[in-house]
Amino acid sequence: MSTPTDITSNVLLLEQTNQLKGLYSIIRNKNTHRSDFVFYSDRIIRLLVERGLDQLPVKQADITTPLDVTYSGVEFLGKICGVSIVRAGESMEQGLRDCCRSVRIGKILIQRDEETALPKLFYEKLPEDIEDRYVFLLDPMLATGGSAILATEVLISRGVKPERIFFLNLLAAPEGIKAYHDKFPEIKIITGGIDPKLDEKKRIDPGLGDFGDRYYCI
């Protein structure tokens, strides 16, 4: 995975360790069986969620250990929820649930309009109190940024403050990052990899193929 030199401070790239590179080598391989693709993708998703949780504000909280000793710790401020961009984003929901018990999950369905070729909102189901929550927006691939931009506009229209949104994805292209941050410069993108470019068909290059197809189809 290459790392562009113009990454902004609001793009948080997972540390490119040998372990992470190994996981991406597996899911990028076109010959990887679906069960392995799902397993190793889930491992990366868990890392993304953990990095996202690191961004949440905390306050000091003193607790008493079983030895009756005071420990100066912290506790999170505020509630969170996940919002997946259907369908591929739903693959990331379990990773969030594994880290946050009983977390609320919303869904946004966006598809390309056949006449305009632009993303169009078809369905949304979000927690009623979403404006009071920190939101993890979930979509594995950030290519052109069109769907993510529309989904974020939906969240903001529901009262979510941009600084409370964290956009999690496994793989991003520089074009998508730029388009997204041109609209929402204050929103943090948390990604596991940044590839060099989009190809002529607007696919992330070298990428890993259609994530949703590979994750859900046998």
> What's the pLDDT tens digit per position in 162-207?
999 999 999 999 999 999 999 999 999 999 999 999 999 999 999 9
The CATH number for 154's domain is 3.40.50.2020
- Average pLDDT over the chain reads 93
Residue 1 is assigned to a structural domain of this protein: no
Say which of 36, 54, 113, 213 is annotated catalytic: 213
- Round to whole Å and give the CA distance between 121 and 102: 27
Please indicate whether residue 210 is annotated as part of the active site.
Answer: yes
Please indicate whether residue 42 is annotated as part of the active site.
Answer: no
Residue 28 CA to its chain's centroid (Å): 18
Residue 148 is assigned to a structural domain of this protein: yes
Say which of 36, 54, 112, 199 is annotated catalytic: 112
Residue 5 is assigned to a structural domain of this protein: no
Domain that holds residue 60: 11-216
Residue 90 is assigned to a structural domain of this protein: yes
Please indicate whether residue 116 is annotated as part of the active site.
Answer: yes
pTM of the model: 0.92
C-alpha closest to that of 13 among 170, 171, 192:
192
Residue 145 is assigned to a structural domain of this protein: yes
Please indicate whether residue 87 is annotated as part of the active site.
Answer: no
Q: How many domains does the chain have?
A: 1
> What's the pLDDT tens digit per position in 34-88?
999 999 999 999 999 999 999 999 999 999 999 999 999 999 998 999 999 998 9
pLDDT for 2 equals: 47
Contacts of 174 (CB under 8 A, 6+ apart): 4, 6, 194, 196, 197
Share of the chain above pLDDT 70, in %: 94
Residue 6 is assigned to a structural domain of this protein: no
